[in-house]
Amino acid sequence: MKRHMVKFTSVLLSLFLLSSSALTVKASPLVPKDALKSPESTLRDTTSTSIAKSKGDILYEDDDVVRLLIEVTGKPVIDVATERGVSVRDLTKSLKKSITDKNRATQKSVKDLIKAAGISLKELETYDNVLNGFSIETTYKNLKTIKNLKGVTHVSVAHTFSRPEPDMSSSTEMVNAIKTWTDTGYNGEGMVVAIIDTGTDPSHKDMILSDESKAKLTASTLNGLPGTYRTAKVPYGYNYMDKNQEILDLGPGASMHGMHVAGTVGANGDLEAGGIKGVAPEAQLLAMKVFGNNPSMPSTFGDVIVKAIDDSVALGADVINMSLGSTASYVDENDLEQVAIRNAMENGVIAAVSAGNSAMFGDGFDKPYTENPDIGVVGSPGLAPETIQVASIENNIVTANALSYFYAGEELLAPYANAGPKDPKDVFTERVPYLHAGLGGPDDFAGQDFNGKIALIERGSYNFTDKIQNAYNNGAIGVIVYNSPAGGDGLINMLYPEGISIPAVFIGRSHGLNLVELLQTEGNYVAFSGKLAKAGNPEAGNLSGFSSWGTTPNLDFKPEITAPGGSIWSTAQNNQYQTMSGTSMAAPHVAGGSALVLQRVDEYFNLSSSERVLMAKNLLMNTAIAHHDTGTYNSYFGNGDYNYSSPRRQGAGVMDVYAAVVSPAVAYEKTSGIGKVSLKEMKDVTTFKVDVKNLSDEEVTYVPRGTVQTDLSDGEYNYLETQGVYLDGTLEEYGPNGLYSGEYPIYFSEDSLTIPAGETRTLTVTVDVTNGIDWYYNLPLSEVFPNGTFLEGFVVLEDPEEVNPTLSIPYMGFYGEWDKAPIVDQSIYEGRSFYGITTLAWYDQPNEMFEFLGVDLDGARDKNTIAFSPNRDKNRDDVLPLLSFLRNAKEMELNILDESGKIIRALYKDSNLTKNYYDGGNGSPYTASLDWIWDGTAGGKLVKDGNYFYEVKTKIDFEDAAWQSMKFPVKVDTKKPMKESLAYDEDTKTLSVEGKDDFSGIYAYVLEITGEEPVSNNTGIFDFTDITLTKKSTLKIYDFAGNVETLDLAKELRKIIKPVNPELPGIPVPEPPIPPAAYLEPETPVAGDVDAPVVMVESPEFFETVTSKIVTVTGTVSDPSPLEYLKIDGMNVLYRWNAASGKWVFTHTLLLEDGYHSIRVDVKDKAGNQLDFLHKIFVDTKKPVINLTESLPRVTKEASITLKALVSDNLPDLKVTLNGNMLVNIEQDWSYFDSLAPASYSVEESIPLNLGNNTIILEAEDSAGNLTKMTYTIRRNK
């Protein structure tokens, strides 16, 4: 069986010092770069939080009731313990009581003085351990009096966190949505936004319309579609993946991502009651669930998305939000998702799509190399030209559910991100003790009793699922993970292990360290009372680090706009709320903003469908506020005041909805009509035209200015921030734009542009870098960027009267040849390899390992020792490349060449390969396929020993792109090495052996003694001091091709060494493993069980192709309550309890015909919870068919013949090879299976004939591995 290769579209959730230069020239003395020895200390105002707190006093009136924290004289318990070098728990009970009694007496005397002063108060808490004091509730005016009382050392207003206005108020303010509602009345009324995502909860209290009579869609307007009417706010919902009516996000670890997105677009809650409002609060939402509830399949497919898009258009959606995508994709006008989006746009629908959360190429591995400028990883379908693709900026405020604890006498609230099926606020009704478990490894729990306690764990070393599982295994009833030093106080979403249900949360580092400190005071308790915490985001003002960079592989301009996506508080199912981060959170801000702008467009402009979309998109982009670069250099030198963040990262800037709905003009590139400029490849001088159209009935005037920018590089690394490109000779310490700036080489045809009402004027823009230099080195760009670089910036149109919103148009192009930069990483045998993996290897099938070739025992790499021996001895029998793709490869050809460079076998062809972007380890740093294996044959025969080349040819997705070729030398060597000499020195007890191999060379000498670990080296010298030979002792000599000469060592040395004991050393018998504890099968429903059973279909895998019509479905079911039933395709399935795993197991047989099958799985427990989903597979029992369309002669005198045949298969994929040479590799996107035709290929190949017998082998293989082989022999006579 084979799992089919398909294009998956997965929801992506989220959550420097420059090195010495590789250039030999000196940096400009104008820029004191040596001042950046410790830039981190100068980048950010680290006192902003404390400043906010210190201003608290002036925020209160005298009569305000406040909580005062009062510290009194006398050492608290922790001070005494610290002085003695012990923890609080190590102090004797009598000593602690003595200290406490003394301090309580002091506290009482101070309270008596307060009451004697006539101050009315309410006593609250008493503190003994971390401080000596108490808290009271009184009026603010009494603070000064209390501060001066005898015995009082300090008085402060207790810093508490009440239930705040959630983060949506912050993010909606950031995009100016609130001002739009209040000043213009545009609030989404009459607009419909489709949420194509994981599901929506229409019953949420914030999912309402203020006036249902103004709803655009009603129950009578559903047009016979498969979904059903839900509510006035959410008039339609359907599960397009599972093809049922369940539109909630269910199952283990359900993220409720779609509900979060829906709330950001259009929640309409009561702010006073803790609700939230989205960007378009009066818009209706369509619940288009495209991610199913099958735990085995977290992804979705193109056909599902296309159907949801189609139905959204049919329902009259004005906007579609798609917070989903596949990383580093291609722009493809024939891709069906992109076609569907184009059709939607032509029907007047805007598609707001997330850019992706993979940052840039190599994120988490290393900074990109300067010579590899193609760092973009934006995803599909957002890179379709008709979408508006959205990048992310951090929210100003972070709000989340919080745990509470007392620290320094003050109740503090730590915001947390919840993981797993249970929120601790729903589990813990009382304070809960906790213990510290280090980094959460198995050994970190030793010596502590975690039963009935929460495990506090630091982030790092182990993955989240292991940390949580280890805590559970050690009896913990909950887990708190706090961030690492690098992560700081940021919150991230954790993966959660399957099969357990203890609460697990993630908190910021500062709160985590506080909790660690409290362990010394016996104040190690936390509470989960459902309170919310709101705090400033330490990353506020920064573009989100996870937000994916552009461009697209073909140099199109993406992303196009930015919106808040970092730390967004929004709705969750069941009247809950949660914080999430990602461009998934940014896109719905733009979807909601688009609805508001469309209200203006529809009211005033009377445009056709596609023109309506283009007008709204251009208004949003034109009026977006270009983000100033906050990178290390730009912040340190103040260059961010005039350098904008790269348009490849932010698009046009941060959305400003209000400016978009009031701007009197719109600007766009003259040819494309879009408010962005994609210049493709640029020369020294580039010109483009911008049209500015006056939409108002009054004259408007704009003054143009612009920037010219490129990536900041030291010649070795790309530092992922912007530097200016300036005219040579203009860079000054106090330059025209600011500190260390010069004149941008950008010019305009007009100094000022005055446009009469309703008319359009054209501005010609010229970028001329003929005499341009970079900021860092003051050198021509070609001397810093060997493979070219991006030239980009903004054309800014400002109202000289500062009345109308500023308009801007970002532009971007590549200065150089886009197809020049390497597609495949340099190999390990050469200089600067980025990942250090690209190599030739052989496939060790028993161990499922790729073993590098051309590497000796010491790790030294030499391409001249790449060799293999195709002799079927299971050691270096084949060869294949491991390739790290630095760029997307639109086409790839793999060829075997002889020593002269002639192709002797066209091994494989492939297309649409994706770069190895890494993404913090979520993506692989290399690509390999067993289809790339060369077994040493050509023309159906084993080649002779000799020198060959394995060629990798690739080409990018760009018009007229040149092929790039990487050739690995490889030796075919089937001859064994020989023993040249062997000697033994009795005095030193040293064995010396020397081998000989005249081709690939000696790789290793291996000493094997039964019962001992083999000893290997490449010197041939072995120390026999502690070695006792046995009868089966052998010495092996290996060459680099894997050939081996085996010597019977005892026989070789019997005249030199005395006879040895033939018995093998004793081998200890391991103790039998301890059987796991048995789990009891549930017998009665568990009270409070609201979670659906979890069904994991283990075989066949989702989208697997099986080669038998008899399909056996196996899997497991887990649930705390007993099962009511389990059905597969409507048939009751027998299941049995497995006491070892604590799950039910099942096996069910189906009889299925060839083709595509959606197996429906339906399960219900006796608590009433149900899960229903589809599990999709393919059955293919038929081999491809080969039909000769012209007969072949058995005997001929011709020097060649033409083979004509038709090859076909019943399913869409097909590979055809002729004498081992690949003719075609048809690979379809099976997510569109229903619309794919069966594969076929017409063969017409001229075949040269040698004198004598010629064997022709034509092979056809389908996706299931079914193989048809036609062998034909033709004799050529003279």
95 vs 464, residue with greater confidence: 464
Q: How many other CB atoms sit within 10 Å of the CB of residue 89?
A: 12
Whether the Cβ atoms of residue 580 and residue 15 lie closer than 8 Å to each other: yes
757 vs 499, residue with greater confidence: 757
Residue labelled with tokens 């109308």:
804
Q: Give dist(CA 1166, CA 1081) in Å, integer.
A: 13
Burial of 768 (0-12, 13-18, 19+ CB in 10 A): middle
pLDDT of residue 1237: 85
- The tokens for 912 are 């649409």
Q: Give dist(CA 400, CA 492) in Å, integer.
A: 12
Answer whether the bond into residue 588 is a cis peptide, omega within 30°.
Answer: no
Q: Give dist(CA 822, CA 536) in Å, integer.
A: 43
Residue labelled with tokens 């915001």:
415
Report residue 140: phi and psi, to 5°.
-60, -30
Amino acid at 1093: P
pLDDT of residue 520: 87
Amino acid at 89: R
Query: Model confidence over 369-393: pLDDT tens digits?
Result: 999 999 999 999 999 999 999 999 9
| Closest C-alpha to 912, from 381, 389, 333, 328 | 328
Whether the Cβ atoms of residue 211 and residue 162 lie closer than 8 Å to each other: no
Residue 707 DSSP code: -
Lowest mean pLDDT among 156-165, 218-227, 291-300, 350-359: 156-165
| Closest C-alpha to 720, from 543, 924, 582, 957 | 543
Strand pairing of 1214-1218 and 1252-1261?
A: antiparallel
| Closest C-alpha to 393, from 217, 157, 568 | 568
> Which residues make Cβ contacts (< 8 Å) with residue 716, sequence separation at least 6?
19, 21, 22, 369, 370
Q: Give dist(CA 1274, CA 1278) in Å, integer.
A: 13
* 484 to 434, 509, 707: CA distances (angstroms): 19, 6, 38
- The tokens for 621 are 């982009």
Query: Model confidence over 877-921: pLDDT tens digits?
Result: 999 999 999 999 999 999 999 999 999 999 999 999 999 999 988
Amino acid at 69: L
Residue 824 DSSP code: B
Q: Give dist(CA 542, CA 627) in Å, integer.
A: 9
Q: Give dist(CA 678, CA 502) in Å, integer.
A: 51
Whether the Cβ atoms of residue 704 and residue 651 lie closer than 8 Å to each other: no
**Could you tell me the domains of the chain?**
65-157 (3.30.70.80), 177-394+542-815 (3.40.50.200), 397-534 (3.50.30.30), 839-972 (2.60.40.4070), 978-1055 (2.60.40), 1094-1179 (2.60.40.10), 1185-1276 (2.60.40)
pLDDT of residue 15: 22
pLDDT of residue 985: 87
- Cα 726–Cα 727–Cα 728 angle in degrees, nearest 5: 110
Query: Model confidence over 87-128: pLDDT tens digits?
Result: 444 678 788 788 888 988 999 999 989 988 888 887 865 656
Q: b/e string for 15-28 if b means 16 or more Cβ within 10 A?
A: beebeebebeeebb
Lowest mean pLDDT among 306-315, 742-751, 1077-1086: 1077-1086
Indicate if the pLDDT at residue 1215 is higher than 60.
yes
pLDDT of residue 94: 84
Lowest mean pLDDT among 249-258, 281-290, 699-708: 249-258
Strand pairing of 454-458 and 432-436?
A: parallel
Lowest mean pLDDT among 106-110, 176-180, 315-319, 491-495: 491-495
| 285 Cα distance to chain centroid | 27
Query: Model confidence over 1159-1198: pLDDT tens digits?
Result: 999 999 999 999 999 999 989 999 999 999 999 999 999 9
Amino acid at 1268: T
pLDDT of residue 472: 97
682 vs 22, residue with greater confidence: 682
| Closest C-alpha to 77, from 126, 149, 150, 135 | 126
| Closest C-alpha to 1114, from 1104, 1122, 508, 1124 | 1104
Whether the Cβ atoms of residue 888 and residue 378 lie closer than 8 Å to each other: no
| 847 Cα distance to chain centroid | 29
Q: Phi-psi bin for 1117: left (phi > 0), alpha (psi -120 to 50), beta? A: beta
Lowest mean pLDDT among 173-187, 338-352, 1190-1204, 1224-1238: 1224-1238
pLDDT band at 1206 (very low <50, low <70, confident <90, very high): very high
Q: Please state the rounded mean pLDDT for residues 1096-1120.
A: 93
The string of DSSP codes covering 1166-1192 is: TTS-EEEEEEEEEE--PPPEEEESS--
Residue 244 DSSP code: B
> Which residues make Cβ contacts (< 8 Å) with residue 352, sequence separation at least 6?
319, 320, 321, 322, 387, 388, 390, 587, 588, 590, 591, 594
DSSP E strand boundaries for 833-977: 839-844, 849-852, 867-868, 880-882, 889-897, 903-913, 937-938, 941-942, 946-955, 964-972
Q: Give dist(CA 554, CA 546) in Å, integer.
A: 22
Burial of 113 (0-12, 13-18, 19+ CB in 10 A): middle
Q: b/e string for 34-56 if b means 16 or more Cβ within 10 A?
A: eebeeeeeeeeeeeeeeeeeeee
| Closest C-alpha to 292, from 1171, 1230, 1168, 1233 | 1171
Mean of pLDDT over the chain: 88
- The tokens for 851 are 């073993």
| 222 Cα distance to chain centroid | 36
Indicate if the pLDDT at residue 19 is higher than 60.
no
Q: Give dist(CA 402, CA 418) in Å, integer.
A: 10
- The tokens for 26 are 């000196």
Amino acid at 1211: L
Q: What's this model's pTM, rounded to 2 decimal places?
A: 0.77
Indicate if the pLDDT at residue 50 is higher than 80.
no
pLDDT band at 1 (very low <50, low <70, confident <90, very high): very low
